[in-house]
Structure 1
Amino acid sequence: MSIFTHASEILEARVNHFLNKAEDPAETLDLSYEKMIESLQDSKRHLADVVTERISLENQMAQAQKAADKAEADAKMALGAQREDLAKAALGEKEVALQKIASLQAAHDNVAAQAQKLTDYEQKLQERIEQFRTQKEVMKSQMEAAQSEIKVGESMTGIGDGLADAGDALRRAQDRTAQMQAKAQAMDGLMAAGVLSDPLDQRSQTDKDLDQLRASSGVDADLARLKAEMAGQEPKNAAKDDDKAAT
């Protein structure tokens, strides 16, 4: 394969790819249907012209037949008047009329056959157009249903623009939330370690540690007091229970 042939095949493939994307099958079907209708209209016009020609020939044949009948009547009248010469002349006119009728008849037969062919063709074309119209509407409905199914599938799988954007936004929000939570945890740890401090709290780190120790010691002392009080109440309650049992 030459480089020119290969390049030509690549170009043709790209052109076909572009046409497949640019072409709307529904519009193509409608355009084909319109062309078939135009073809039907053309066939009807041709049929009308042929039928007009056939009728014109029939009218000429009728006139020629009238001329032949008149010539024969004239010949009879001339013979009745003992004018054989006039009778021959009239019969000569009759012969010309009959020859004209024969020529017109031959032309009429050809035109009539052509008209019949056009009529048959028009009927077949009209039936084919009706079949195509039905097939076209069915195909368009199937394509619309398939396109709708594809769009739904794309949306559900994230291939389309709908859920894909929503999924990206959700992931960005989740990442942002995780970052904020990590930052909050880091700040809590730094504040607990004394690296960061409240700007409104003017105490030194030593004062903060001492205050925390005092608070913890106070809690421990309060807890010890409550334990001692509860321990002192338990013997008294036990003595009362013994007196009630003795009585």
Structure 2
Amino acid sequence: MGILSRMSYVVRSKINALLNRAEDPTETLDYSYEQMRDELQDVKQGIADLTTQKKRLEIQKRRLEENVEKHNDQAREAVRQDREDLARKALEKKQSKMTQIEELEGQIAQLQNTQDDLVDKKNQLENRIEEFRTKKETMKARYEAAEASSRVSEAMTGVGDEMEDVGRAIERAEERTDEMEARSAAMDELQDTGAFDDAISDKDSIDRELDSMRSGSEVDTELETLMAEMGKSSPSSEGDTASDEEIDAQLEELESSESSEPSESVDASADTDTETELEELENEEESRAE
């Protein structure tokens, strides 16, 4: 195969592939069906034209037959009048018309045969068109069903890809969330251990422990001084094991009890003063009465 032949073959194959991709089978079937209907219409038009020609010949044949009768009557009349020459001419014309009638009959018969053949072909074509229409509708239905199925498959494939992207996005979001939660927990742990204070303070762990011991000693000294002033015994160390919540609750109870005691003493003193004033008034009245 030469270069030009190969190029021609490649070009034809490319064009054929493009046409196959651009071709819509349903449109092709509809176009073929319309073409067959057009052919059927042409056959019917040909039959109509042929029938018209046959009718014209038949009309011409009837006119010739009328002329034959007319020439026959003319010959009879000429014989009665002893005009053999006129009778001969009339018969000659009659014979000419008879010849024409025979030719017309042959043409009419030929046209009739052609018409019969065209009618048969028309009927066959109509049957083929009807069969093709049924197959066409069936093929269109199958094609449309296959096309719909293909679109659904493509859509499902697209949805699958999209859902895969969504799944990856969710995984990334979960990883990011876990990372942030871990970071937050780490920050809380560092805050509890004082790592942040270490970072911003110049004191090391020994200095902070000494400060804590020094602060605790100062609190104990102040508590002993306060107990001595109020005549109480030295505090025991049992309360050191109590939690902060329990200590807060005990302090609130103590404050409430102390706030209630002064009010009772005030009421008692008020009653005593009132009784004293009443006794003084009674004494003054008795002295005045004397």
TM-score normalised over the length of structure 1: 0.73
**Residue type at the aligned position of 1:204:** D
* Whole-angstrom distance in 1 between the partners of 2:184 and 2:77: 140
Structure 1 distance, partners of 2:102, 2:67, is 14
Identify which range, 135-144 or 102-111, moves more after superposition. Answer: 102-111
- 2:68 aligned with 1:68: yes
Q: CA deviation at 1:10?
A: 3.1
Partner in structure 2 of residue 171 of structure 1: 167
The CA deviation at 1:181 is 1.9
- Give 1:82's aligned amino acid: D
Which position in structure 2 is the counterpart of 1:29? 29
Contact 1:75–1:91 at 8 Å: present in 2 too? Answer: yes
2:197 pairs with 1:204 = yes
Going from structure 1 to structure 2, the CA distance change for 1:84 and 1:2 (only over 3 Å counts) comes to closer
Is the counterpart of residue 123 in structure 1 residue 123 in structure 2? yes
Question: Which residue is equivalent to 2:56?
Answer: 56
Structure 1 counterpart of 2:97, one-letter code:
A
Mapped to 2, the partners of 1:145 and 1:221 lie a distance apart of 83
For residues 84 and 199 of structure 2, the distance between their equivalents in structure 1, rounded to whole angstroms, comes to 162
Tell me how far 1:5 sits from its aligned partner.
3.6
In structure 2, the partner of 1:146 is: 146
- DSSP-derived class of the 1:14 partner: helix
1:183 corresponds to? 179
Shift of 1:140: 0.7
**Residue matched to 2:279:** none
Give the Cα separation in 1 of the matches to 2:16 and 2:87: 82
RMSD: 3.0
Q: Could you tell me whether the CA contact under 8 Å between 1:50 and 1:115 is conserved in 2?
A: yes
Alignment of 1:98-113 (within 5 A): 98-113=98-113
Structure 1 residue runs without a partner (length 5+): 198-202, 215-219, 227-247
The percentage of counterpart residues that share the same residue type is: 33
Note the C-alpha offset of 1:14: 2.3
For 1:40 and 1:24, how far apart are their aligned partners in 2?
A: 24
Shift of 1:180: 1.9
Q: CA 1:108 to 1:15, structure 2 compared with 1: closer, same or farther past 3 Å? A: same
Structure of higher CA gyration radius:
2
Residue in 2 that maps onto 1:8: 8
* Count of residue pairs brought into register by the alignment: 206
Letter in 1 for 2:130: E
- 1:18-64 per-position Cα deviation (integer Å, ceiling 9, x unaligned): 11111110011001001111111111111111000000000101100
